[in-house]
Structure 1
Amino acid sequence: MLKQLHVENFAIVRETEISPGPGLTIMTGETGTGKSIIIDALGLVLGDRANLSMIRKGADMAVVEAVFAPPVLNDDLKEILAANDLPADDTEWIFRREIHRNGKSRTFFNDHYVSLQILRQLADSLVEMHGQHEHQKILNSNSHIDYLDAFAKNPGLIQDYTRALMDLKEAVRFEEKLKKNQDQYLKEQELKSFHYQELKKVNPHPGELNELENELKILENSQELVDTAHRIADTLYESDNSVISLLSSLKHDLEHLLRIDSTPGEYLKELESAMISLEETGRSMAEYRDHIPHDPARLEEIRDRVNVLNFLTQKYRKTYDELYTYYQQLQSELSGDQDFSAELRKAREQTEIAREALIGVGERLHKKRLETARIFTEAVESRLHRLGMEHARFRVRFSCQEGTSTLSVSWHGKTVIPQPRGFDLLEFEMITNPGEDFRPLAQTVSGGEASRIMLGIKSVLADADSIPTLIFDEADAGVSGRIARIVGEQIEELSRYHQVICITHLPQIASLGERHVVVEKEVLQGRTETRIRHLQDEDRIQEIAKLLGAGKITDAALENARDLLNKSHQTSKES
């Protein structure tokens, strides 16, 4: 329960506070006085987005503080408190939000600095705000599943379904990844096979290109080699004036010299050794010359082979040795294919297991919703009848999205695409007048009816949940007269089990509150300020008379105001 809301330097509020108390607190005020500002301030301290325009002109920061009686701690709340080292036994829950002019925003829970996310999680257990936009929300079929699940209290089943859907998505992703890997592998193998076949036709050998290039050089220069070798052999050995002939003459002279003087005897040995060596060299060169190949056919064959090998090295951007290694590597890699079939088969089995698990939890969730829809329909119809829509009939229409995708399941004879919250697509339909057919709410109801339908559904949900504080921001939009009174009585009935704060402009509703505050705007020292005033006795009669008289207080309006308050007090005593 909200015990106190304190607001400083927020919009046109300098400083004000409200202490609603249990039961029904009514908030009224002329248009533009700032009723919505108070609700915005409460929304801010409970986690709504902040912006600098919320800070009062001239102030450095805006501060909003809300004091609550702590709720009954469920497991989720205990886990949040424990995970963030927050005390679980405090007698009050104090939320504080500061917005600084420099753009910084700070959030506190019981004087502990907390993140905005934690603050929101804690606040969700305390307050449910029903703003004017909710009248349109009820007409949007996308929100209908939220209302039914809130009534059914399905968080456990929805969590199970969410996990099952994530498991299926993960299984499908893994299977698709395997298929992609297999496709990529097959493409790579196809390319490797093409490369291998191309190289196999050439059948390269280790060191072959170097050997062929050497042989090609010899064949291309065979005549030059013959001529040069012939000159060497002729000069050393074969001609009449060869080196050997000259050395033979020198040897003869040296032998003659030694017969006279034996001193240079060593030189004869050296000369004889040189002659032997040169003669062997000359003969070797003659033999080399005689064996130099000259084969035009072989020359063309080698040229063709070298051209092919060079083309392949350029094509594959490898040296010849690297090309040969690549050829051997391809031969090895292609000798045994990688078998994906077993992995794929296992992945498909896991996908189907995940799909069946999703179908199981989706079916349980569907059955729970069907069962809940029956109870919910009866409860909403009952509320609508009490809200003056005597002929209203209400139902929940179930459908599903049929289609084919990787996540599709076979369900109730249909191929269904799972949705984030189950297989179900829900839409609320109504008949407002006898003899008509059921139609979607957006095609059926007027603005005033939308307000009552929203209130009826909220009332049903409030009966089912444990949220201690409900806030209605002009839930009476579009209604007046007798219907306004009926709407007010429904809100008053809710206040027996919840703390209710209701902003209204209707005297029929304003008269039902246990407490009544008025939001007023005044100018002080040239500055506009919004403040909250708690009304008692005659002040309250004056305010309701003002609502009855469209801003004017007449004797008749005062009398009617007293009458409305007396009736409300009498009704309250009887209930």
Structure 2
Amino acid sequence: MRIEGLGVIDEATLDLHPGLTVVTGETGAGKTMVVTGLQLLAGGRADASRVRRGADRAIVEGRFRPAQGSPAADLASEVGARTDEDGTLIASRTLTMDGRSRAHLGGRSVPAGVLAELADGMLAVHGQNDQLRLLRAGEQRAVLDRFAGDVVSGALSTYREIREQWLRCSAELATRRENSRELAREADLLGHSLAEITAVDPQPGEDTALLAEARRLADADQLRETAALAQAAVCGAPDCDHDQPSAIDLVGQARRRLQAESDPELQALGERLGEAAAVLGDVAAELSGYLETLNADPARLEQVLGRQADLKRLTRKYGADVDGVLAWAQQAHQRLAGLDTSEEAIAALATRRDQLATELTRHATALTVARTATARELGDAVTAELAGLAMGQAQLAVVVSPTLAAEGDDAALTVAGTRLRAGPEGVDEVELRLSAHPDAGSLPVHKGASGGELSRVMLALEVVL
């Protein structure tokens, strides 16, 4: 490991041996900066104030030797990092005065999170305050779960999934029972609104189509006059002066004159006029069809206006337009389906809750069994490590016990006839109990262990894990 420009360290190189390396020194010698450098290599938060005064940046480099096929080696391959000829992998972290941080692994720029994932299984920093974590009950349970590995993690994942379903079902049942009157009133309002919409039976885009039709019916006379004049101008009309040629006639005359000439350019223009004449013919035919379908029907206009009034009543209440009304109706149907406060619906929900509780109890029991089976293994492994830490007569026991539910606890679950609290981590409490020597009683580590003993227990756990 090489450190440059970090805190009190101008430049230093440390040879960290596999297994355990102890860093000691006087106050101000740079022990904290060594730990800070390790934390940076492990993807920790970068603090610009750690850059040495007078330096523009701090650099920390570390050489790791991942085993072939290990998660660290797979990670390096995944991000495209290159190993040296001896199989080692160089990780580096650069921190500038303006707070910017860059991470590299095997010559490739990577996010700091990649370094964190790399160091997770290859680097452990044990400081003088780390043992305080053991005083928290949740940390003691996490230690056991980590030691157990997939045996517990798989059971815990399934337990959490069922627990979420059970809690949701229980909460919904309680809400229906407590707020049945309010929910029934809401259901009545939704049912009335949906009945009103169903009676009108709006269709998607109907308001837009009716608006266009109403305008056409109201302006039928003017539209007919305009279309007839346009038709006469394009192709002529039976009652028009035959001496006044139409647009099609004029274009036809021009085309014939151009194509009668021998000049190729004029002939080409004549062909283009032929295309124009074809377009004019299509327009004339469409105008004729338009005039045939245009109908000034006062009865139909009144019907359209009445339909628009019906739709307007809906859009004033439920949406900006007909499509909005239909979207509201769909949401209302879904909401109404969930507001069934009948005795049958509540009974069905209660049955579902009981089924989930039975399933959750089964998974909670399986989780307890897995933890209990692993607890003895963890205690024996840590006890063996304590023998090498000047605690040869000490013994660590890992005790798994049920967590009793308090009165009125919403997460209470009956397991083997006892009401336990079904928390997100299961129904178990895990406690590390230490007996420092044969004549000493076994006490929880947060009560009976000294600071030095806590440090040794923490270090032994890190080795075992």
TM class by shorter chain equals: 0.5 to 0.7
Q: What is the TM-score with the length of structure 2 in the denominator?
A: 0.58
**Deviation at 1:18?**
2.2
Equivalent residue in structure 2 for 1:149, among 145, 152, 157: 145
The aligned runs of 1:2-21 (5 Å cut-off) are 5-21=1-17
Aligned partner of 1:172 in structure 2 is 167
Residue 402 of structure 2: which of 386, 392, 400 is its match? 400
Give the Cα–Cα distance (whole angstroms) in 1 for the partners of residues 354 and 81 of structure 2: 46
Aligned residue in 2 for 1:62 = 58
For residue 436 of structure 2, the aligned residue among 414, 432, 443 is 432
CA–CA distance in structure 2, aligned partners of residues 425 and 390 of structure 1: 28
Cα distance in structure 1, aligned partners of 2:410 and 2:456: 43
- Are the structure 2 counterparts of residues 26 and 415 from structure 1 closer, same or farther at C-alpha, using a change threshold of 3 Å? closer
2:111 & 2:348 partners in 1: Cα distance?
A: 44
Partner of 2:118: 122
Q: Distance in 1 between matches of 2:104 and 2:437?
A: 51
Matched, 1:453 2:457: yes
Q: From the superposition, tell whether residues 427 and 348 of structure 1 become closer, same or farther in structure 2 (CA, over 3 Å).
A: same
Q: Distance in 2 between matches of 1:192 and 1:52?
A: 59
| Residue 231 (structure 1) aligns with | none
Match of 2:157 among 158, 162, 177: 162
| Alpha-carbon distance in 1 for matches of 2:391, 2:17 | 32
Change (3 A) 1:367 1:65: same
5+ residue gaps in structure 1? Answer: 195-320, 327-332, 466-575
Q: 1:384 to 1:410 in 2, by over 3 A?
A: same
State the AA in 2 paired with 1:133.
N
**Structure 1's 178 and 358: CA in aligned 2 closer, same or farther, altered over 3 A?**
closer
Please report how far the alpha carbon of residue 436 of structure 1 lies from its aligned counterpart in structure 2 after TM superposition: 4.7
Alignment TM-score, normalising by the size of structure 1: 0.48
Query: Which residue of 64, 89, 92 corresponds with 1:96?
Result: 92
Distance (whole Å) between structure 1 residues aligned to residue 420 and residue 82 of structure 2: 45
Count of aligned pairs: 321
1:42 equivalent to 2:52? Answer no
Q: Which amino acid aligns with 1:365?
A: L
1:368 equivalent to 2:364? Answer: no
1:162–1:421 contact (8 Å) kept in structure 2? no
User: Are 1:164 and 1:354, in contact at CA under 8 Å, matched by a contact in 2?
Assistant: no
Do the aligned partners of residues 353 and 15 (structure 1) sit closer, same or farther apart at CA in structure 2, a change above 3 Å counting? farther
Deviations 1:536-573 (A, max 9, x none): xxxxxxxxxxxxxxxxxxxxxxxxxxxxxxxxxxxxxx
SS of match in other structure, 2:125: strand
Q: Distance in 2 between matches of 1:9 and 1:425?
A: 46
Q: CA deviation digits over 1:473-520, x for unaligned, max 9?
A: xxxxxxxxxxxxxxxxxxxxxxxxxxxxxxxxxxxxxxxxxxxxxxxx
Q: Is the 8 A contact 1:71 1:126 kept in 2?
A: no
- Structure 1 residue matching 2:124: 3-state secondary structure: strand
1:185 has 2:206 as partner:
no
- Aligned-residue offset at 1:346: 5.4
Please identify the structure whose Cα radius of gyration is greater: 1
Report matched runs for 1:302-313 at 5 Å. Answer: none
**Take 2:409 and 2:191, find their aligned partners in 1: how far apart are those partners?**
35
Superposition deviation, residue 58 in structure 1: 2.0
Question: Aligned with 1:128: secondary structure?
Answer: coil
State the one-letter code of the partner of 2:125.
Answer: M
C-alpha separation in 2, matches of 1:339 and 1:49 = 52
Q: Measure, in 1, the Cα distance between the counterparts of 2:139 and 2:451.
A: 18
TM superposition shift of 1:192 = 9.1
Deviation at 1:75, TM superposition (A): 6.6
Code of the aligned partner of 1:185: L
Deviations 1:219-268 (A, max 9, x none): xxxxxxxxxxxxxxxxxxxxxxxxxxxxxxxxxxxxxxxxxxxxxxxxxx
Change beyond 3 A, Cα 1:409–1:448 = same
Judging changes above 3 Å, is the alpha-carbon distance between structure 1 residues 357 and 64 closer, same or farther for their aligned structure 2 residues?
Answer: farther
Greater RCO (Cα-Cα under 8 Å, separation 6 or more): 1
Identity of aligned residues (%): 26
Q: How far apart, in 2, do the equivalents of 1:192 and 1:370 lie?
A: 53
Aligned counterpart, 1:133:
129
State the shift of 1:14 in Å: 1.9
Change in Cα spacing, 1:171 to 1:391, as seen in structure 2 (3 Å) is: closer
Could you list the runs of 4 or more consecutive aligned residues of structure 1 that deviate by over 6 angstroms after TM superposition? 190-194
Tell me by how many angstroms 1:130 deviates.
1.4
Tell whether the 8 Å contact from 1:135 to 1:451 is kept in structure 2 after alignment: yes
Letter in structure 2 aligned against 1:187: R
Aligned position for 1:417: 421
Change (3 A) 1:51 1:176: same
Q: Please, which moves more after superposition, 403-412 or 125-134?
A: 403-412
User: What is the CA–CA distance in structure 1 between the aligned matches of 2:451 and 2:71, rounded to whole Å?
Assistant: 40
Q: How does 1:189-208 map to 2 (within 5 A)?
A: 189=187
Deviations 1:352-396 (A, max 9, x none): 444444333332222222122222323333444554445534322
Distance in 2 (CA, whole Å) between partners of 1:421 and 1:60 is 47
